[in-house]
Amino acid sequence: MTLKEEEHIDVRRFRISLIFPSLFLILLWLIKVVELSEGFELTFLGIFPRRISGLIGILTAPLIHANFDHLLNNSVPLFFLSVAVFFFYHKVSFRVFVYGYFFTNLAVWLLARPAYHIGASGLVYAFGSFLFFGGIIRQNINMLAISLLVTFLYGSMVWGIFPYKPDMSWESHLMGMMAGLGLAIIYRNEGPVIQKHVWEEEEEEEEEESP
């Protein structure tokens, strides 16, 4: 495959990677707009730990946000990180999204303090953790670069797993980070493959032939 053909495939894959994250983000904003325009609150659709009525939040909590500032703060990192997951891990991206979504919220329902937990920040932490630990575990130079970029852009995220703000669901952040780490281990053999250059292949052949 020529370099031009590879670039064409990458451009096409990038465009495809934009579709689902964009649709999901549009859904979040539509829900908030409808909520405000109709004059009602959807906080009751959040996760309320260890309460049967709070189970619905496992499906709906990431879709609900307290206000536009809350939604905007989650939108930028969520879009960037989810696009990265869909681009670099395109074969398992939907599974990573669904499992990260489900396991993060289930863990919050099981372990978090008794209060309503809403917002997509758990997903932000799940995807950021998945990309970061995925690059480290696989020792792939491409993914390590992504890990460093995640650290540079969202390094302050680590503080979000500590309970220093009473109105912040630090439990969602912590559970998301743990879910991302678990998924990085499960899918450690997935992701981009490093293309070996001709001289690298020749060196390996010489090493195998040498006594």
Specify if 204 maps to a domain: no
Residue 47 inside a domain? The answer is: yes
DSSP letters, 29-87, are HHHHHHHHHHT---GGGSB-TT-GGGGGHHHHGGG--SSHHHHHHHHHHHHHHHHHHHH
Whether 208 maps to a domain, the answer reads no
Range of the domain at 72: 3-192
Q: How far apart are CA 172 and CA 32, in angstroms?
A: 20
Predicted pLDDT of residue 152: 75
User: Does 12 reside within a domain?
Assistant: yes
**Domain harbouring 39, CATH code:** 1.20.1540.10
**pLDDT recorded at residue 157:** 77
User: Span 108-112, mean pLDDT?
Assistant: 98
pTM for this entry:
0.86
Local confidence band at 199 (pLDDT 50, 70, 90 cut-offs): very low
Residue 186 lies in a domain: yes
| Overall number of domains in the chain | 1
**Residue 160 falls inside a structural domain:** yes
